[in-house]
């Protein structure tokens, strides 16, 4: 069930130190009572398990796709581990799972260019950890379309369900909702802030963080 998968992922992220509660200053300057850093999935076992979560979320979505794309830099290992997990997932049968990623700077020797991996073609799923400003999605969509392929979806680890902007000028929708509106493609997440809240409700050891996260969601969140 997608719900149990999401809850299992939240607990996994907590066990790995990827999800933490406290007082964190975000890149935007906003202070958050929780922080999610997918870069701390940093050993073979945890990255392999992460790939399985990505694969299951994509399978549960029922979306048709032909390949994966990981935007540099963080999306590169994410697309790689997801492709490995999907290659062993029963939803794919014997179909291959090609993947590609981009360089930040064009290579001027060897094969050259900005792209590495399988040629971008067909329906492409963009894989990242979270969506904040949506910059990597915008750049990825442009590269995919320039290659003549079709962006099919964005697959992320965590949907923060959070509006962007200054406190007196918050966006109408979350970063995820803005991406869906801008590009007409779905965003699939392994888990969301709602799943984190469910964990805080159910786990007495984490209950002390519940009020702070709830207040943050009330101030910045979307349903």
> What's the pLDDT tens digit per position in 100-110?
999 877 665 54
DSSP code at position 119? P
User: Could you give the residue numbers annotated as active site?
Assistant: 107, 109
Q: What is the pLDDT of residue 119?
A: 96
Q: Mean pLDDT check: name the lowest of 32-41, 109-118, 205-214.
A: 109-118
Peptide bond connecting 73 to the previous residue in cis, omega within 30 degrees of 0: yes
CA 39/CA 77 separation, integer angstroms: 10
Two tokens at 171?
């966006």
pLDDT tens, position by position, 5-52: 999 999 999 999 999 999 999 888 889 999 999 999 999 999 999 999
Are residues 166 and 133 in contact, defined by beta-carbon separation less than 8 angstroms? Answer: no
CA 71/CA 79 separation, integer angstroms: 9
Q: What is the pLDDT of residue 207?
A: 93
CA 68/CA 64 separation, integer angstroms: 12
User: Structure pTM?
Assistant: 0.93
Q: Give the residue with greater pLDDT, 61 vs 164.
A: 61
The mean predicted confidence, pLDDT, of the chain is 92
pLDDT tens, position by position, 165-186: 888 888 889 999 999 999 999 9
Rg (CA), the chain: 18
| Length of the chain counted residue by residue | 223
Q: What is the mean pLDDT of residues 187-193?
A: 97
How far, in Å, are 90, 189, 201 from residue 221 at the CA level?
A: 36, 16, 17
Pairing between strand 123-127 and 150-159?
Answer: parallel
């Amino acid at each position: 069930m997608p719900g149990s998968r999401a809850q299992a992922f939240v607990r996994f992220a907590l066990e790995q130190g990827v999800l933490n509660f406290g007082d964190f200053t975000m890149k935007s300057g906003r202070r958050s009572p929780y922080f999610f850093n997918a870069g701390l999935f940093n050993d073979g076992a945890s990255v392999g398990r992460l790939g399985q979560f990505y694969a299951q979320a994509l399978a549960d979505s029922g979306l048709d796709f032909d390949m994966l794309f990981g935007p540099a830099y963080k999306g590169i290992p994410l697309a790689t581990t997801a492709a490995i997990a999907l290659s062993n997932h029963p939803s794919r049968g014997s179909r291959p799972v090609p993947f590609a990623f981009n360089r930040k700077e064009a290579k001027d020797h060897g094969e050259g260019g900005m792209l590495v991996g399988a040629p971008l073609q067909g329906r492409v799923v963009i894989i990242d950890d979270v969506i904040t400003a949506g910059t990597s999605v915008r750049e990825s969509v442009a590269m995919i379309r320039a290659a003549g392929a079709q962006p099919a979806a964005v697959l992320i680890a965590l949907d923060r369900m959070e509006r962007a902007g200054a406190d007196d000028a918050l966006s109408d929708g979350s970063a995820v909702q803005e991406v869906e509106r801008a590009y007409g493609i779905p965003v699939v997440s392994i888990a969301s802030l709602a799943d984190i809240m469910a964990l805080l409700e159910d786990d007495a050891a984490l209950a002390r963080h519940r009020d702070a996260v709830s207040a943050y969601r009330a101030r910045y969140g979307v349903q």
